[in-house]
Amino acid sequence: MGVTVEILPLLTDNYAYLVTDAESGAVAVVDPGEAGPVLARVRERGGRLDWILLTHHHGDHVAGVGELVAATGARVAGPAADARRLPPLDRALAEGEVFELGRAAARVIATPGHTAGHLCYLFEASGDLFCADTLFVMGCGRLFEGDAATMWASLSKLSRLPPETKVWCGHEYTLANARFALWVTPDDPAVRERAREVERLRSEERPTVPSTIGVERATNPFLRPFDPAIRRRLGLEGASDAEVFGALRRAKDGFKG
């Protein structure tokens, strides 16, 4: 069955998500980087929190776990590959497993690159992908624990999902990502239109999530290293997709636009 999603802005630019199974009412929170706002909203909704879903070990995604567990009794699920660097897990998950939230089911997708054990959760019935710091709107995560080939393989997995899949990422980085995309592909009309939309949303203090996989395929340069315009821009017409992706990531790391 499907889920409903509520965005919870946290810290400076993080997003956590309250995910509710529409049939059973079971509730999970994805990546609570702080407890206070999550706990306040959970209590406003009646106090139910069944699960905490973690994507990776970084503190801005896990720091609220202990307080939430103590206050609600929620159980914790996260990547088995990173269990030693996470709060205690009640369920350790790996690629291809299915996590059940009430009657809803999420497929677990391993996406190493940003961290070695990074996971994404795909609720296929409703088309909701929680991709944290692997795929951002118009961007991708930095390569803290993986190389370009590893991250490109992870992004390629996500890019092959159905185009209507909703992308719920871990940060509001889209304005900076849009400016980089315009630098990479200044003549692309889809990128220019998307950048205008992002500017409008942020000027209204509205989130740019969710995006969709289809929109990201069309406007996110990190999903398009095969694009001839991007290859020309970087002077890498004969390089592999992974090499072009790596050059894009390095360019973004130093981008000042």
61 is catalytic: yes
57 among known catalytic residues: no
The sign one gets for the Cα dihedral 143, 146, 152, 155 is negative
Verify whether residue 118 is a known catalytic residue. no
Q: Which residues does residue 20 pair with via DSSP β-bridges, in sequence order?
A: 4, 27
Tell me the two tokens of residue 180: 């980089």
Asked if 195 contacts 257 with a C-beta cutoff of 8 angstroms, the reply is: no
**From CA 59, how far away is CA 32, in angstroms rounded?**
9
Q: Report yes or no: 45 and 26 within 8 Å, Cβ to Cβ.
A: no
- CB-side exposure of 103: number of CA atoms within 13 Å? 11
End-to-end CA distance of the chain: 43
Residue 5 one-letter amino acid: V
Enter the tokens of residue 139.
Answer: 């961007």
**Residue of 92, 83, 31, 29 whose CA lies nearest to 62:** 31
Known active-site residue 58: yes
Task: Give the count of alpha carbons within 13 A of 171, CB side only.
Answer: 19
Catalytic residue among 21, 57, 61, 82: 61
Q: Which of 50, 82, 128, 133 is catalytic?
A: 133
Catalytic residue among 21, 31, 50, 58: 58
Catalytic residue among 50, 57, 171, 188, which? 171
Among the options 31, 56, 82, 188, which is catalytic?
56
Which pair of structure tokens corresponds to residue 58?
């970084």
Q: Which residues pair with 8 in a beta bridge?
A: 16
For the annotated catalytic residues, the residue numbers are 56, 58, 60-61, 114, 133, 171
